[in-house]
């Protein structure tokens, strides 16, 4: 087993990154690994890391969303290269955000993504290290949630989602962007309606070309458009889904909903909540609504978490969910208000059937789609394909090894 150093901090929204990493650490501990949680904000972290260096041959590091990835040693080299420690960077966001991190070309850095769609973008347009890996967040151990029995649930739905006001975004970008880029951005937004991120590069490049601007995916100008397109489409979706959910017994958790104008007679706007508090209360709800971030090849962590808490997931369906969660199809929705309402009502009208479908889905997918399986894959990839072990993989010797080097007899002889 390995020594796993998990680098964590508290500077993510609602401390969600730290919360997920602590769950991953617990899963790794159960697998028999020696887990070291290193707080990047603690003054003793450099000394703790240095004390572990003699064990570097049995050690790897795990960071999330690039937090702790770009640490440099005294000589200016990337820490992981200088110390010869392989590190898996488990990214939640699209590579166009903080693209420098996703371009780090190091034999000791593994670029991993909770959404395989994002790994494909790195492969196609960033080419860092020649490989990018998908690793779903997965379903955490149900014991993390302390779920209540079905008949003890509160009968409500939780929607944990921060809100961005699309009108405010548009106003700020109109001031910040040159008129040509602003026009390209909103033409691309219109063309991207209903599409996922795999289609965005072609959409942006085609729209830009119509404006006589020729872009390279992954370039600075391209990323300036893609990140805003991603933000805006997700903001619009949040508002559209929120408008429907607000008509039902739904608890909105997250910041930014203060100016949300909708029917709230049954809904409650509870504001921001720390990650651990949400995790501890998730198992008290009947259902949990979620939005995928423009992806098709996995689902948001809140869908996996809802399954772990035996709480009915209500979410935007995609190829991954259709293939892996067929029993939950009634609770998946599309891009129209009617399908959102139908998914919510399917849960509220027959909660026992919805909870039974959720329990059956958990039984069918756990541990195959578990967080424990994901972190096990992460360990194997990092310890066997990065750093010194990775260097030994190439070049491959001919098989059998001596076939082309020993003298061969000929038929004539």
pLDDT digits (tens, 9 = 90+) for 55-74: 999 999 999 999 999 999 88
**Rounded Cα–Cα distance for residues 84 and 59 (Å):** 10
* pLDDT beyond 50 at 140: yes
Q: Is the pLDDT of residue 203 over 50?
A: yes
Cβ-contact 302, 321 below 8 angstroms: no
Q: What are 245-264's pLDDT values in tens digits?
A: 999 999 999 988 877 766 66
Side-by-side strand order, sheet with 332-333: 268-271, 250-253, 157-160, 287-290, 312-316, 332-333
Nearest alpha carbon to residue 91 among 80, 83, 82, 100: 100
Each residue of 4-26: pLDDT tens digit? 999 998 777 788 999 999 999 99
Residue 400: per-residue pLDDT:
60
What does the DSSP 8-state code read for residue 140?
A: P
pLDDT tens-digit map of 166-202 = 999 999 999 999 999 999 999 999 999 999 999 999 9
pLDDT of residue 75: 81
Q: How confident is the model at residue 402 (pLDDT cuts 50, 70, 90)?
A: low
Q: Is 82 exposed, middle or buried (0-12, 13-18, 19+ CB in 10 A)?
A: middle
Q: Residues 291-310, buried b or exposed e (16+ Cβ, 10 A)?
A: bbbbbbbbbbbbbbbbbbbb
Q: Please state the pTM of the whole predicted model.
A: 0.93
SS3 104: coil
Q: Answer whether 256's CB lies under 8 Å from 165's CB.
A: yes
């Amino acid at each position: 087993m390995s020594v796993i150093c998990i680098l964590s901090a508290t500077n993510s929204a609602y401390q969600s990154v730290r919360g997920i990493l602590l769950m991953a650490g617990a899963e790794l501990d159960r697998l028999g690994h020696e887990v070291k949680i290193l707080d990047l904000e603690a003054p003793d972290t450099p000394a703790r890391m240095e004390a572990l260096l003699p064990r570097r041959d049995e050690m790897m590091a795990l960071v999330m969303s690039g937090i702790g990835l770009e640490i440099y040693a005294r000589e200016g080299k990337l820490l992981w290269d200088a110390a010869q420690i392989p590190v898996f960077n488990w990214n939640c966001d699209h590579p166009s955000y903080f693209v420098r991190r996703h371009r780090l070309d190091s034999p000791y850095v593994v670029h991993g993504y909770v959404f395989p769609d994002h790994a494909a973008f790195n492969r196609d347009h960033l080419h860092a290290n020649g490989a990018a890996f998908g690793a779903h967040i997965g379903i955490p151990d149900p014991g993390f949630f302390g779920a209540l029995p079905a008949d003890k649930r509160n009968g409500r739905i939780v929607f944990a989602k921060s809100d961005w006001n699309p009108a405010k975004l548009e106003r700020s970008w109109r001031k910040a962007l040159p008129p040509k880029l602003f026009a390209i951005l909103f033409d691309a937004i219109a063309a991207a309606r209903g599409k996922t991120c795999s289609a965005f590069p072609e959409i942006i490049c085609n729209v830009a070309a119509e404006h006589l601007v020729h872009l390279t995916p992954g370039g600075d100008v391209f990323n300036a458009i893609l990140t805003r397109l991603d933000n805006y489409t997700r903001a619009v979706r949040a508002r559209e889904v929120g408008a429907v959910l607000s008509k039902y017994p739904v608890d909105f958790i997250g910041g930014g909903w203060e100016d949300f104008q909708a029917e709230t007679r049954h809904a409650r706007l509870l504001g921001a909540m720390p990650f651990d508090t949400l995790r501890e209360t998730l198992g008290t709800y009947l259902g949990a609504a979620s939005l995928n971030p423009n992806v098709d090849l996995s689902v948001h962590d809140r869908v996996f978490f809802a399954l772990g808490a035996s709480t009915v997931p209500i979410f935007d369906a995609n190829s991954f969910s259709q293939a892996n969660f067929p029993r939950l199809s009634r609770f998946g929705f599309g891009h129209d208000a009617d399908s959102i309402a139908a998914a919510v009502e399917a849960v509220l009208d027959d909660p026992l059937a919805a909870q039974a479908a959720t329990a059956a889905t958990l039984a069918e997918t756990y541990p195959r789609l578990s967080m424990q399986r994901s972190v096990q894959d992460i360990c194997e990839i990092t310890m066997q394909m990065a750093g010194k072990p990775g260097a030994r993989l190439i070049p491959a010797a001919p098989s059998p090894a001596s076939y082309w080097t020993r003298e061969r007899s000929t038929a004539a002889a």
